[in-house]
């Protein structure tokens, strides 16, 4: 996952060569398909795949090659370009590639770019020289301007291997430019939305596929004892697909699992209060991190993104379901990094921006919705499991 479709033709100085190569590629692929399939009838099922992947009649390839040949377009950096507009108006070959992404079947595979990134580019110069460095990791915070000093302190704990993306829930974005790093950050603004609302809309796995790890963090985390690069090294060393830094025990601590252990680098299992865990390897004793400061590998995020519901914006209950998105046994792939740890400062922020509802204070009304969402999410998940299993059962309907 993630690294497919990276084999698009490499851009060279002579782009005419690309065009011709692509066309020859199609023609060659087709010819190979034809000649072999007539010689080895027994392999027909394999070969029909080769042939059908383009499905272009021979006459069409000849026509197209001849037409391109007549144009004599030149696209060359040193000698300039000639006649490129003519290439834009040739009669197109018929293309129907079923292995392309859905909706893009009419495009030649060499031009299809199914994934993107958040790299900032220049408006001038050669695109291949835009980026001095490609950040390997993506750090996102959902923020209000009031927390700027906390975020400023946090950002300084991450090297330039991390791209920074801020989701603003209070509409204040340009004021952040008081910090130098903000000018190289990406700012997304939508009022009074939650972290998971933004994540679902702006962190589609195909958009963030350039990043090996993705941090989806709250704004009220104290990072004095944390370093981004060291954290990543430990995540890689211990093969964790979903992780979080240990939490300093304070009044914000809900679960034993995420409490920092002073005597180790990392832990993946813990003991909860008696009766809380049906199995020592299942949540909340293991295979579990909180939704406050999770870090996802690219592969795990691709799964988790699909599980996020558009309308359940608080993400409650997601923590217990994360184990569905890693290789089993999940308790080996989900863990807490103890030696790079954070403090949950429990600053009421977005939670105070709700509205009074049904006689409840704004804060209470938000809390109530969190709990309702947890129940709804759990119900949907359970129903989905049941429906899936019923379909697997012969005559299982009803
Ligand atoms: C493309 O091929 C698929 C089958 O592979 C077919 O169902 C579809 O109708 C074709 N589309 C066009 C525009 O020919």
Domain that holds residue 281: 137-353
In a domain, 201, yes or no: yes
Q: Are 252 and 154 part of one and the same domain?
A: yes
In a domain, 131, yes or no: no
Q: Are 295 and 343 part of one and the same domain?
A: yes
> pLDDT for 334-366, tens place per residue?
999 999 999 998 776 777 777 888 888 888 999
Q: Lowest mean pLDDT of 1-5, 97-101, 140-144, name the range.
A: 1-5
In a domain, 371, yes or no: yes
Q: Are 73 and 176 part of one and the same domain?
A: no
List Cα–Cα distances, 130 to 76, 170, 208, 266, in angstroms. Answer: 20, 32, 19, 38
Task: Give the pLDDT band of residue 381 (cuts 50, 70, 90).
Answer: very high
Counted domains in the chain: 3
Task: Give the pLDDT band of residue 11 (cuts 50, 70, 90).
Answer: very low
Mutational test site, ligand 1, from 51, 98, 102, 109, max ligand atoms within 8 Å of CB: 98
In a domain, 374, yes or no: yes
Q: Are 165 and 309 part of one and the same domain?
A: yes
Q: Are 341 and 389 part of one and the same domain?
A: no
Q: How far apart are CA 172 and CA 87, in angstroms?
A: 47
51 pLDDT more than 50? no
Residue-wise DSSP of 99-152: TSPTT-TTS-GGG-----------SSS-GGGS-S---SEEEEEEE-GGGHHHHH
- Residue bearing the bigger pLDDT, 90 or 217: 217
Q: Are 58 and 35 part of one and the same domain?
A: yes
- Residue bearing the bigger pLDDT, 276 or 10: 276
Phi, psi of 378 (to 5 degrees): -60, -40
Q: Are 257 and 297 part of one and the same domain?
A: yes
Q: Are 355 and 365 in contact (CB under 8 A)?
A: yes
Atom 14, ligand 1: which residue's CA is nearest?
96
Does any ligand 1 atom lie closer than 6 A to the CB of residue 184?
A: no
Highest mean pLDDT out of 10-19, 79-88, 135-144, 359-368: 135-144
Residue ending a domain, among 337, 353, 369, is 353
Q: How far apart are CA 227 and CA 19, in angstroms?
A: 47
Does any ligand 1 atom lie closer than 6 A to the CB of residue 48?
A: no
> Global pTM?
0.82
CATH for 196: 3.90.550.10
In a domain, 116, yes or no: no
**105 CA to centre of ligand 1 in angstroms:** 8
- β-strands 74-76, 162-168 pairing: unpaired
* Ligand 1 atom having least distance to the Cα of 96: 1
Does any ligand 1 atom lie closer than 6 A to the CB of residue 327?
A: no
Q: Lowest mean pLDDT of 4-13, 281-290, 337-346, name the range.
A: 4-13
% of the chain beyond a pLDDT of 70: 83
**Residues 326-341: what's their mean pLDDT?**
97
In a domain, 187, yes or no: yes
Closest CA to 153 of 179, 121, 171: 179
In a domain, 93, yes or no: yes
Q: Are 28 and 49 part of one and the same domain?
A: yes
pLDDT recorded at residue 251: 66
**Residues 172-184: what's their mean pLDDT?**
97
């Amino acid at each position: 996952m993630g690294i497919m479709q990276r084999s698009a033709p490499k851009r060279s100085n002579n782009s005419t060569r690309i065009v011709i190569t692509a066309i020859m590629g199609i023609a060659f692929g087709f010819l190979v398909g034809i000649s072999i399939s007539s010689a080895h009838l027994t392999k027909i099922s394999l070969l029909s795949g080769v042939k059908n992947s383009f499905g272009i009649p021979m006459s069409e390839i000849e026509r197209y090659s001849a037409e391109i040949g007549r144009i004599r377009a030149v696209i060359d950096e040193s000698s300039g370009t000639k006649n490129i507009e003519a290439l834009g108006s040739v009669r197109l070959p018929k293309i129907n590639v079923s292995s392309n992404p859905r909706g893009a079947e009419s495009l030649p595979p060499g031009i299809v770019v199914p994934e993107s990134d958040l790299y900032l580019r220049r408006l001038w110069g050669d695109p291949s020289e835009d980026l001095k460095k490609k950040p390997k990791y993506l750090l996102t915070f959902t923020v209000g301007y009031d927390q700027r000093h906390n975020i400023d302190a946090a950002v300084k704990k991450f090297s330039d291997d991390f791209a920074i993306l801020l989701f603003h829930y209070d509409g204040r974005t340009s004021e952040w430019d008081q910090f130098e790093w903000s000018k190289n950050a990406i700012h997304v603004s939508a009022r009074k939305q939650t972290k998971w609302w933004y994540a679902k809309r702006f962190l589609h796995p195909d958009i963030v596929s350039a990043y090996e790890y993705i941090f989806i963090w709250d704004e009220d985390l104290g990072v004095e004892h944390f370093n981004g690069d060291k954290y990543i090294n430990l995540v890689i060393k211990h093969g964790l697909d979903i992780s979080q830094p240990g939490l300093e025990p304070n009044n914000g601590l809900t679960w034993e699992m995420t409490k920092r252990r002073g005597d180790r680098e990392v832990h993946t299992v813990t003991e909860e209060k008696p009766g809380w865990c049906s199995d020592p390897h299942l949540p909340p004793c293991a295979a579990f991190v909180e939704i406050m400061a999770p870090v996802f590998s690219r592969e795990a995020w691709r799964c988790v993104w699909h599980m996020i519901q558009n309308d359940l914006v608080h993400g409650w209950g997601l923590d217990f379901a994360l184990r569905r998105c890693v290789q089993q046994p999940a308790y080996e792939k989900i863990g807490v990094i103890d030696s790079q740890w954070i403090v949950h400062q429990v600053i009421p922020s977005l939670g105070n921006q709700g509205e009074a509802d049904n006689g409840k204070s704004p804060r209470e009304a938000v809390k109530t919705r969190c709990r309702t969402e947890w129940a709804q999410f759990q119900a949907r998940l359970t129903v989905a499991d049941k429906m899936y299993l019923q379909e697997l059962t012969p005559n299982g309907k009803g």
